[in-house]
Chain A
Amino acid sequence: GIQVEQSPPDLILQEGANSTLRCNFSDSVNNLQWFHQNPWGQLINLFYIPSGTKQNGRLSATTVATERYSLLYISSSQTTDSGVYFCAVEWFKGRVLVFGKGTRLSVIA
């Protein structure tokens, strides 16, 4: 099956700092999504981004499908950005999302 690796596994930031989270995947994908799991456990959709670049406020994402990676940028981080960020891909041989292990982000005031 497909492998999804996220880095770094843990990240601590001072409020206001910027960060880049990375997702590498081992095979071709039809779909890629970024999620934020907040401290209450909710999985919140951030981006549906099989390719290209998208921006939503302080967050943006870029997927380079030919090189099998995606990046999530968080600018001017806030304490509410804390939680776990998951990358999930839909392998071209399947029709379901396979998740990485996540990046745990802690933003300190």
Chain B
Amino acid sequence: DAGVIQSPRHEVTEMGQEVTLRCKPISGHNSLFWYRQTMMRGLELLIYFNNNVPIDDSGMPEDRFSAKMPNASFSTLKIQPSEPRDSAVYFCASSPDGLTEAFFGQGTRLTVV
């Protein structure tokens, strides 16, 4: 298995632009997580899907952030409009269910200038 695949690996965008991050979970995993990593706040959960349904989005910082999982093999995290404080590394992770081992993608490093 190729593991969790995220794209792009790096993204540089101007403030105000829309940014879309993509994630392909490990086949057969039915839980998907989006995390954000910053120096100040460490690794924090943004949103959690189970069987393509958003279960916990309490970590989504504000309405500029949205996430979708249209099918079991694809998820997106969108920021519109982007701001410099959104600069961070965004990780996607998946697990067979919510109670077993989670595996992380390589992350997308987002820089908003």
Interface residues on B, range: 20 to 34
The verdict on B99 contacting chain A, using a C-beta distance below 8 Å, is: yes
Residue of B nearest to A97 (CB): B102
B contacts with A: majority SS: strand
Q: Chain B residues near A101 (CB, 8 Å)?
A: 42
The verdict on A86 contacting chain B, using a C-beta distance below 8 Å, is: yes
Cβ–Cβ contact A33 & B102, under 8 A: yes
Contact pick for A95, options B44, B98, B107, CB 8 Å: B98
Residue of A nearest to B45 (CB): A96
Contact pick for B103, options A41, A45, A98, A100, CB 8 Å: A45
A contacts with B: majority SS: strand
A residues 64-99 touching B (CB-CB < 8 Å)? 86, 88, 90, 94-99
Size of the A side of the interface (Cβ < 8 Å), in residues, is 21
Residue of A nearest to B44 (CB): A99
Residue of B nearest to A101 (CB): B42
Cβ–Cβ contact A31 & B99, under 8 A: yes
- The verdict on A102 contacting B101 (CB below 8 Å), with A41-B106, A96-B56 known, is no
Contact pick for B33, options A30, A41, A48, A97, CB 8 Å: A97
Nearest Cβ on chain A to B87's Cβ, whole angstroms: 14
A residues 5-58 touching B (CB-CB < 8 Å)? 30-31, 33, 35, 41-43, 45, 48
Cβ–Cβ contact B50 & A95, under 8 A: yes
- The verdict on A41 contacting B42 (CB below 8 Å), with A90-B99, A96-B98 known, is no
Contact pick for A43, options B44, B91, B100, CB 8 Å: B91
A4 CA / B31 CA spacing, docked (Å): 22
B31, B43, B89, B106 interface centre (most CB from chain A within 10 Å): B43
| 5 chain-A/chain-B pairs, Cβ below 8 angstroms | A41-B89, A45-B101, A95-B50, A97-B102, A99-B42
B residues apposed to A, CB below 8 Å = 31, 33, 35, 42-45, 48, 50, 55-56, 89, 91, 93, 98-104, 106-107, 109
Q: Which 5 A-B pairs have the closest CB atoms?
A: A95-B98, A48-B101, A99-B43, A43-B104, A96-B48
